Structure 1
Amino acid sequence: MTALKWDLIQNNDKIALQLSGELSRNTLLPLWQQRASFLSEKLANQSLIEFDLTEINRIDSAGFALLCDFLHDSEQLPNKKVRLINPPEQLLTLADLVNLSHWIGTFIDHH
């Protein structure tokens, strides 16, 4: 098991939550506990919210569920654009399995 680490990077009107390691039921509790504070005061002046998954090496169904909660709650905020950066293949497979591929796809920038 690889620990889950995260960092908030603020840049002008953008905030990025950079995740690294393993997003799984064994590692997600500290991030889940920080969820409310992340979604409130940290986002007040941000118009773009990014979830950078470049460094995620494993995600399970619990990690997928937490990420979906973050995405859902973020998209409910007024005047916010929400993006997933470099979603791992495991996330896309889990989205397929639970019929959320289209919804997850709305957060992915397809150049």
Structure 2
Amino acid sequence: MSVNQQSLQWVALSQENTLVLQLSGELSRNTLLPLWSQHETILASHAVANKHIHWDLSQITRIDSAGFAFLCELLQHSQSVQTVGTNVRLIGAPSQLFTLSDLFGLSTWIKPFLFASN
């Protein structure tokens, strides 16, 4: 019997007017519970209402449909606590995110969250 090596780690970095939440590992149904139980506390503890929120996914190795649904919920919640003039962005979105957004018909919805590098 093998040990489940799936994991999801996150770090919250507060920089001037931006909160960067760096996720690494798998964003899947097997790894979501710890982040789900702490995401509101993380956002509240960094007083995000006056900050941009950037979800950095550049170190995500895998996203399944549950992880995608969870990420959509995080984006929606992050956006709901924002004030005018601040934004919520995805940085380093993996190709699986685009595949899943196409599959679920959410490509248009997710597009404004994507960080454009130029």
TM-score normalised to the size of structure 1? 0.92
- Give 1:89's aligned residue: 95
- CA distance, structure 1, for counterparts of residue 57 and residue 50 of structure 2: 19
Is contact 2:6-2:30 (8 Å) kept?
no
Greater C-alpha radius of gyration:
2
Deviation per residue, 1:32-84 (Å, 9 max, x gap): 00022123232346421000000000000111111101100111122331100
- Give 1:101's aligned residue: 107
Query: Which AA in structure 2 matches 1:70?
Result: L
Q: Are residues 1:28 and 2:16 paired?
A: no
Alignment map for 1:61-100 (pairs within 5 Å): 61-77=65-81, 78-79=83-84, 80-100=86-106
RMSD of the TM alignment (CA)? 1.4
CA deviation after TM superposition for structure 1 residue 12, in Å:
0.6
Tell me how many residue pairs correspond in the alignment. 111
Extract unaligned runs of 5+ from structure 1.
Answer: none
Q: 1:13 aligns with which of 13, 17, 30?
A: 17
Is contact 2:7-2:26 (8 Å) kept?
yes
Is contact 1:6-1:20 (8 Å) kept?
yes
Is contact 2:28-2:63 (8 Å) kept?
yes
- CA distance, structure 2, for counterparts of residue 99 and residue 47 of structure 1: 29
